[in-house]
């Protein structure tokens, strides 16, 4: 089999585990994803198989778009939904106005260097 499979990665699976499932179920020896999604993330995960693995370098160079749902007024020790809540401000959302949110979103709508959270799929020391 050769081509690009568009997988809707479920919550809880690593991108590598999804590739492993594709290889196992499709009896495919050559397969790879075009960019890691953290285990808690869901969404589109293109998997190149067979000779299409040569396309991965161009697919990874493209811009990506992200969509998120947030809860204002809650802070966790891991900065994500899976951490332990360390602070809760029930009035936090009430103090945020639309103009402030739009200013922050405008700043985020550009290329940024992101500091990864403590729990992420980023490699450290080659691991």
Tell me, yes or no, whether 100 lies in a domain: yes
- The enclosing H or E element of 5 equals strand 3-9
35-44 confidence digits (pLDDT tens): 888 888 899 9
Predicted pLDDT of residue 70:
81
Q: Are residues 3 and 50 in contact, defined by beta-carbon separation less than 8 angstroms?
A: yes
**Residues near 59 by Cβ (< 8 Å), separated by ≥ 6?**
4, 34, 46, 48
Same domain, 49 and 88: no
**Summary mean pLDDT of the chain:** 84
Tell me, yes or no, whether 119 lies in a domain: no
**Confidence label for 48 from pLDDT (cuts 50, 70 and 90):** very high
Tell me, yes or no, whether 46 lies in a domain: yes
**Confidence label for 90 from pLDDT (cuts 50, 70 and 90):** confident
Distance from chain centroid for Cα 56:
17
User: Catalytic pick from 38, 77, 80, 97?
Assistant: 38
Dihedral sign from CA coordinates of 22, 26, 29, 33: negative
- Look up the domain containing 22 and give its range: 3-59
38 in catalytic set: yes
């Amino acid at each position: 089999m050769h081509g690009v499979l568009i997988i809707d990665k479920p919550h809880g699976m690593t991108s590598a585990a999804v590739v492993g499932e594709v290889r196992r179920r499709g009896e495919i020896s050559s397969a790879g994803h075009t960019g890691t999604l953290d285990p808690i993330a869901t969404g589109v995960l293109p998997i190149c198989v067979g000779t299409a693995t040569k396309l991965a370098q161009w697919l990874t160079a493209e811009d990506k778009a992200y969509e998120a749902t947030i809860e204002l007024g809650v802070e966790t020790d891991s900065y994500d939904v899976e951490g332990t809540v360390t602070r809760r401000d029930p009035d936090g959302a009430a103090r945020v106005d639309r103009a402030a949110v739009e200013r922050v979103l405008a700043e985020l709508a550009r290329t940024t260097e992101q500091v990864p959270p403590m729990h992420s799929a980023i490699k450290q020391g080659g691991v």
